[in-house]
Amino acid sequence: MLLSTPLPASRHLPHMDVAHDTVTDTATTLTSGGLCFNVIDRPGEDMTWEECRGLCEKEAEGVWKADLAVFDNAEELEEFSITWLEICEYNEYFSEYANTSICFPPQPLIAPLNFFESGGLCFSVIDKPGVNMTWEECRGLCEKEAEGVWKADLAVFDNAEELEAFSITWLEISNTLPEHPYMWIGVHKMDGQWVTLDGTHITHQNLMWHVGHPHDMGINAFLEDITKTTGENSYGRLYMSCSMGVHEHHSRCLCEAN
């Protein structure tokens, strides 16, 4: 069984701790291509896909979520194949201790330079006060923030809970920045539908949208601090709004590293 966690980590294998207690599972955690994987072995036991997924989800720890592994492209699978060749060198050792728990604890999330952590994700803000930047210009600037195994792009929130966590973090972060109520994020309209950068559809009913959004005339989305734009205290809540002509340019980009 192979599971993965979505948080980047060092390419180097962490130190291996071996516990000689008798257990049912043999679990091995490794890093490959900026992703973290874990192998759960139960020699001689047949597990269904559903059983494996349940065991993987139980491997979650702290801000780390866990599930069955997914490779987004051939390059990621290639990276893992290379790493797996190295891991397999331990097989002889593993077979010698069939009832040994061999575990590598998850690596702590260390955001790249100029990024800050929120809800297990890494963000960066690009501010150019007085400069009007289009959504496309902001995306280009975010992509240049990539560092090492970390890729960077406009930020994307998968759900209202992630946006809530960021809103709480933003209350503190925003105090160090010029006051500005808008920042471009990685949501835009494609073929008549609102999607994230990876093509995930965002419905009109999504709770992240500000009331009255999205508009039919909108093309790109941005985060809006409605306390600053409406004068009503929203306790720092941020919502997604979409461009309407007058908001085609902003002076702030919100980037995410992954």
pLDDT tens by residue, 14-68: 333 333 333 344 445 566 666 788 888 788 888 899 888 898 888 887 667 888 8
Distance CA 27, CA 46 (A): 16
CB 173 within 8 A of CB 157: no
CA 167 to chain centre: 16
The answer on pLDDT for 13 being more than 70 is no
Give the Cβ contact number of residue 10 at 10 Å.
13
Tokens in use for 23?
């257990």
Q: Is the predicted pLDDT of residue 167 greater than 90, yes or no?
A: yes
pLDDT at 224: 96
Per-residue confidence (pLDDT) for residue 64, from 0 to 100: 74
Name the pLDDT band for 245 (thresholds 50, 70, 90). low
Each residue's pLDDT tens digit, 173-201 = 999 999 999 999 999 999 999 999 999 99
Residues 153 and 255: beta-carbon distance below 8 Å = yes
- Report the range of poorest mean pLDDT among 9-23, 79-93, 143-157: 9-23
User: Please, which residues bridge with residue 178 across strands?
Assistant: none
The H helix count followed by the E strand count for the chain is: 6, 14
97-101, 146-150, 186-190, 225-229: least confidently modelled range = 97-101
How high is the mean pLDDT of the chain? 80
- 95-139 pLDDT, tens digit each: 443 333 333 444 556 778 889 999 889 999 999 999 999 999 999
Reference 222, options 157, 170, 151; nearest CA is 157
Q: What pLDDT does residue 32 have?
A: 67
- Distance CA(48)–CA(69), nearest Å, equals 15
